[in-house]
Amino acid sequence: MCSTGTRIIGSGYVDGVTEAEIIAALTRPSARARVGIGDDGAVLDDGTVITVDTMVEGRHWDDKLTPADVGWKLVAVNASDLGAMGARPSWALLSLALPDPVDRAWLDAFRAGLYEALDHFRIELIGGDTVSAPIRVLTLTAGGHADHPVLRSTARPGDDIWVTGQLGLAAEGFLSSHPSPAARAALARPPPPVALGLALAQARLPTAMMDLSDGLRLDLARLCVASAVSADIDADAIPGVPDLAWRVAFGEDYQLLFTAPPAGRSAIGALSHAHGVVSTRIGTITPTAPGGDHTARLLGVDWPDSLFEHFHRG
Amino acid sequence: MCSTGTRIIGSGYVDGVTEAEIIAALTRPSARARVGIGDDGAVLDDGTVITVDTMVEGRHWDDKLTPADVGWKLVAVNASDLGAMGARPSWALLSLALPDPVDRAWLDAFRAGLYEALDHFRIELIGGDTVSAPIRVLTLTAGGHADHPVLRSTARPGDDIWVTGQLGLAAEGFLSSHPSPAARAALARPPPPVALGLALAQARLPTAMMDLSDGLRLDLARLCVASAVSADIDADAIPGVPDLAWRVAFGEDYQLLFTAPPAGRSAIGALSHAHGVVSTRIGTITPTAPGGDHTARLLGVDWPDSLFEHFHRG
């Protein structure tokens, strides 16, 4: 299906509008959770953070990914969500829907990548479910603890806007006919900076944080709406591949997007360096004009169009 | 697909052998969880119990179920797992894989049944994920707390064996050409006795407990293997529909199977009565003969064959 132009959607999100509709259709205000649907994870009163991501064969991966890559990625996208909440990943439950009969070679290779990632992110697989289905549908639920959960809804005007890593590598890995090894690796084995997210949160440096799964353009817009603020972004400051559209309008980056007051700049730089991660300031949170929309503006240029088909295109 | 003879599999389990193989291929001993894969749910050190169940369209439901029934059942099967661990259900995360474009009427009806069950079992939906897929695949992860988690691996020789409710109603609902209203309801809207499971556990009455999702024959065999014991069952004592095969070899009962010392009989009867549930003694846990298999025997008759195709039949 990817070959027809349907984009792989790493975080499992469909598109902004449709997913918002589905979520609105399904949700009610929650009393039990401090933070519910709409952030990277849900936060319980005791600081437990829980997230779930589903990957569908042909939709979230194609033959560019080996079964081992799929195992890695299923864990990595959940770990990314937890790290972006400032949570330390701890446990996971796996639900596997697999065609009958089970392809044992696929399962063994998937398992190898799964456990590589579980070990890397120090996550214990504690339960699961297996069912038969016409296509492979893989769901991982992961949980952990955050002393200081960081939400996407708490950015403030005047905050710097930061991203980690190099954006657009997965786009290059998926869209380029001759991707670099780094781009191929970013697509197949994304290494979200989970430990840095946790360290930033424990140092109380970010005012808001989320992971970049659907591209800076969509994800920053979500952060602005959730925080009721706007944003000015310097396109040239966005680190990553040369093509702006690949950097901001594809997704699958699994890097951190966070905001912090200017007073935190040197501490953020030092902490990032200590974790072997480059954090880059790309803009500023601004107040939304009275009566205006909460908007992220790219200074000097328009946002490129999304590089994937939307869920409702058909 | 159900019309071809493929059984709907309520708990999401495939069959005993294949699922055991898949789980063995995927799991390692877990350090972080007190109880991991193999019980109805995983138990964390703090008493949090977590379970996950996936339902696949055409496999776990067909047009005998309305979309609202599917919503109810997705919650009920998870609540059943938690109750059978002695846990109080608390929160859930929903992952929806839905065909594109989304069928809004289906979604609204599904939502209605989902929330009926969430309200009934006092579960708060706190998060989730939505993806597009060629078929509907629904995964619910649910969690709760157990002061005294009850496992399936702790039955002891001499214990009574109990079941709740009437077994085989869902079998009648699925297999009969003229099912009774009660049978139709049991198939479409199973009401697991979650509160009784919790009350029994809090009273420390059961030595072992699990829910009946795949039929007494399979589930009791699992309890025996997990507890390293055997069992003698009086077929005539098994409460439910007249057909023995329907009572023990179909599944979808979502009733409790538990063991308890004879000293607990009157307390179990009283507690069950207080919860409006009939609990029935059907046999006794026995020691496994040295070198023998852990076996559940049906006294006087053979176990009927399973009434569903196994995952590996093809």
Q: Write the residue in B22, B59, B124 that is nearest to A33 by C-beta.
A: B124
pLDDT-flagged residues of chain B (< 50): 1-17, 31, 309-314
pLDDT score, position A254: 97
Asked if residues A244 and A163 have their Cβ atoms less than 8 Å apart, the reply is: no
Asked if residues A131 and B14 have their Cβ atoms less than 8 Å apart, the reply is: yes
DSSP secondary structure letters along B27-65:
----SSEEE-BTBSSEEETTSEEEEEEEEEBTTTB-TTS
A122 part of contact set with chain B, CB < 8 Å: no
Top CATH class, B2-145: alpha beta
pLDDT digit string (tens) for B161-194? Answer: 999 999 999 999 999 999 999 999 999 999 999 9
Give the C-alpha separation, A14 to B211, whole Å.
35
B32 closest CA partner among A190, A293, A118, A167? A118
Report CB contact under 8 Å: A141, B101.
no
B252, with CB counted inside 10 A (0-12, 13-18, 19+), is: buried
A4 part of contact set with chain B, CB < 8 Å: no
Give the C-alpha separation, B154 to B226, whole Å.
8
Chain A residues with beta carbon closer than 8 angstroms to that of B33: 91, 124, 126-127
Q: How many angstroms separate the CA of residue B262 from the nearest CA in chain A? A: 32
pLDDT score, position B180: 96
With a cut of 60, say whether residue A53 has pLDDT above it: yes
ipTM field: 0.84
Using alpha carbons only, what angle is made at residue A266 by residues A264 and A269, rounded to the nearest 5 degrees?
Answer: 105
Asked if residues B304 and B244 have their Cβ atoms less than 8 Å apart, the reply is: yes
pLDDT score, position B149: 95
The mean pLDDT value for A7-31 works out to 50
Give the C-alpha separation, A149 to A274, whole Å.
21
Lookup: tokens for A235: 């396109």
Q: Write the residue in A26, A51, A54 that is nearest to B139 by C-beta.
A: A54
pLDDT digit string (tens) for B263-305? Answer: 999 999 999 999 999 999 999 999 999 999 999 999 989 999 8
Average pLDDT across chain A, whole number: 88
* H or E element in which residue B233 lies: strand B230-234
Which residue out of A11, A18, A53, A54 would a mutagenesis test of the B interface target, given it has the greatest number of B Cβ atoms within 10 Å?
A: A54
Lookup: tokens for B253: 């009962």
pTM: 0.87
With a cut of 80, say whether residue A6 has pLDDT above it: no
Given its phi and psi angles, is residue A38 left (phi above 0), alpha (psi -120 to 50 degrees) or beta?
A: left
A44 part of contact set with chain B, CB < 8 Å: yes
With a cut of 80, say whether residue A14 has pLDDT above it: no
A41 closest CA partner among A103, A84, A104? A84
The mean pLDDT value for A213-236 works out to 96
Give the C-alpha separation, B34 to B36, whole Å.
7
User: Hey, what amino acid is at A206?
Assistant: P
Which residue out of A17, A75, A139 would a mutagenesis test of the B interface target, given it has the greatest number of B Cβ atoms within 10 Å?
A: A139
DSSP secondary structure letters along A227-292:
HT-EEEEEGGGS-B-S-HHHHHSS----EEEEEE-GGGHHHHHHHHHHTT--EEEEEEEEPPPTT-
Listed by number, the residues of chain A in 204-263 with a beta carbon closer than 8 Å to a beta carbon of chain B are none
With a cut of 50, say whether residue A311 has pLDDT above it: no
A171-183 core/surface letters (b: 16 or more CB in 10 A; e: else): bbbbbeeebeeeb
Residues contacting B46, CB < 8 A, separation 6+: none
Q: Write the residue in A32, A137, A143 that is nearest to B97 by C-beta.
A: A137
With a cut of 60, say whether residue A13 has pLDDT above it: no
* Residue ranges of domains in chain B: 2-145, 160-299
Q: How many helical (H) and strand (E) elements, i.e. helices and strands, does chain B have?
A: 9, 12
The mean pLDDT value for A39-54 works out to 90
With a cut of 70, say whether residue A10 has pLDDT above it: no
CATH topology for B160-299 is Phosphoribosyl-aminoimidazole Synthetase; Chain A, domain 2 (3.90.650)
Neighbours of B108 (CB within 10 A): 13
